Amino acid sequence: MSGAKQEGASTAKLVGLVALWYAGNTFYNIYNKQAAKMIHAHWFLAAAQLVVGIVISLFLWGTGIRKTPNLDSKDISACIPIGLFASLAHSGSVLAAAVGAVSFQQIVKACEPVFAAVVGVLIPPMDLKPMLAYVMLLPIVGGVGLACVKEGKGVVINWEAFMYASMANAAAAMKGKLGSSVTKALKANPTKNMDAANVYGVMNIISFLCTIPFVVVTELPTLGDEWNSAVEAHGLQPLLKNLLLSGFFFYFYNECAFAFTAQVGAVTSSVLNTAKRVIIIVVSSIVFAEPMERNTVLGSAIAIGGTFAYSLTSKKKPAAAPKKKAA
C-alpha cells in the first residue's frame, strides 16, 4: 500500500515539475521578449537575467535551505568550459528572440538535435546514434526550411535571428557533450554537494562571468545611453519588472527542468522539451501577434515532429549480457 502511495506521489511530482517547467518557460519567453523590445542591449539583458538566478542561489545557500557546493579549484576549472557554452546558449537565445519572432526562434531551435549529432561525431569520444535517429534529422531540417517559405515571396529568412539561434544550438550541443561526464562525476561525489539544482546554480554563476566580456566589448560604451533611453521611453518600473521577471522565470524553469531530467533521464526530458516548443510557438504568436502562415505551421510541425522522433530513436539499446557457458 505504501509502495503504491509512493509511486503515485512520485508520478504527481513529475507531472508537477513538467507543468512548472512549461509554465516557467512560457512566462520567460514573454517577459524576455518584452524586455528585449524595451532595451536594445541584449548581451546585457542576458547577463542581467543570470544575475537574478545568482541572487536566488546565494540566498538558498546562505540561509542553509540548500547545501552549499564544496568545489575545489580543479572542479571549477572543469566546469568553466561548460559554463562558457551555457553562456553562449543562453545569450544566443536571448539575441535571437530580440531581433526576430519568438516563434521563429523556437522553430530554428528545434534543429538542436542536428547540431548535437554533428558534435557527437566530431568531438571525441565519438557518440554514434542508431541509423534511424540520423534519418530523423531530415524532417527537422526540411521542416525548418519549409517554415521559411512565405507564400508569394519565396524563402524569407531573418538571417540575424537564424544565426543567433544556431549559435545557441551549437553551444547547447557543446555544453551537453562536455558537461555530461563532468557533472556526472560531481553528482556522484556526496562531499561536493552537487545535486541537479546545485549543478545548475554553479553553472549559472560561471555563465554570468563568461557573459561579462561580451557585454563589455559589444555594449558597454553605449549601455548608459541605452538604459536612459529605455527608461525615458517605457519607464523604470516596467523595464525593471520585465528584466527581473525574465531572470526569475529563466532560473525557475531551468531548475524545474534539471530536477525533472535528474529523475527520468535525458531522453524523456528531450521529448518533453520538444513538446514545450509547441506551446511557446502558439502562445508567442498570440501574445505578440506574430503571423503564422500555412507553411510556417506545417514546417514547424514537421520539424518538431522530427525532433520528437529523433529523441525517441537516439537512445541506444543496452548491450546484451554475455551468455554463461554451460558447465
pLDDT (average), residues 85-91? 96
Tens of pLDDT, residue by residue over 257-303, are 888 887 777 666 777 777 788 888 888 888 888 777 888 888 888 88
Among 45, 48, 55, which residue's Cα sits nearest to residue 97?
Answer: 45
pTM of the model: 0.86
Residue 320 pLDDT exceeds 60: no
Supply the pLDDT for residue 161.
93
Q: Hey, which of 12-21, 51-60, 270-279 has the most confident mean pLDDT?
A: 51-60
**Segment holding 149, helix H or strand E:** strand 149-150
Across 31-35, 84-88, 300-304, least confident range = 300-304
How far is residue 271's CA from residue 240's CA, in Å, rounded to a whole number? 34
pLDDT above 70 coverage of the chain, percent: 91
Contact 107, 303 (CB under 8 A): yes
**Segment holding 38, helix H or strand E:** helix 2-38
Q: Indicate the residue type of 190.
A: P
CB-based contacts of 5: which residues, under 8 Å, 6+ apart? none
Tell me which of 134 and 171 has the higher pLDDT: 171
Tens of pLDDT, residue by residue over 156-178, are 788 999 999 999 999 998 998 88
For residue 192, CA distances in Å to 55, 125, 179, 234, 289 come to 21, 26, 16, 45, 47
Tens of pLDDT, residue by residue over 225-269, are 999 999 999 999 999 999 999 999 999 999 998 888 877 776 667
Residue 325 pLDDT exceeds 60: no
Tell me which of 74 and 157 has the higher pLDDT: 74
